[in-house]
């Protein structure tokens, strides 16, 4: 049985936040903040999804200097809910700007 990378939660990049519901870290592929639901399921309820997105946006607001949008198109790992806080002009090798 294959191990889910997101369930494994290896700390390969910088982690920004963790609680009982989720963790937020730098995506190792695109370098933007990414939130991962700790439950191995692709479809959280709207309530849970809202809580996850709030946490992700709070991390971006506290550490980064850009206006994010939530991208939860789960391209590479479609069976475990996660979402990225993307912006314009960075990502995929060019990390987002940090607050000074």
Residue 82 covered by a domain: yes
Tell me if 94 is assigned to some domain.
no
Determine the structural domain holding residue 70 and report its residue range: 5-86
Count of domains for the chain: 1
Q: Per-residue pLDDT for the chain (100 aa), expressed as one digit of tens each?
A: 568 999 999 999 999 999 999 999 999 999 999 999 999 999 999 999 999 999 999 999 999 999 999 999 999 999 999 999 999 887 777 889 999 8
Say which CATH number the domain at 44 has: 3.30.428.10
In this structure, are residues 55 and 65 in contact, taking their beta carbons and an 8 Å threshold? no
The rounded distance, in Å, linking the Cα atoms of 85 and 68 is 5
65 is a domain residue: yes
């Amino acid at each position: 049985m294959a191990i889910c990378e997101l369930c494994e939660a290896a700390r390969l990049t910088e982690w920004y936040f963790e609680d009982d519901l989720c963790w937020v870290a730098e995506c190792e592929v695109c370098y933007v903040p990414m939130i991962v639901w700790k439950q191995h399921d692709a479809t959280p309820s709207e309530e849970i999804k809202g809580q996850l997105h709030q946490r992700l946006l709070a991390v971006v607001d506290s550490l980064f200097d850009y206006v994010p949008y939530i991208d939860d198109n789960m391209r590479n790992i479609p069976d475990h809910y996660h979402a990225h806080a993307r912006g314009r002009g960075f990502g995929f090798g060019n990390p987002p700007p940090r607050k000074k």
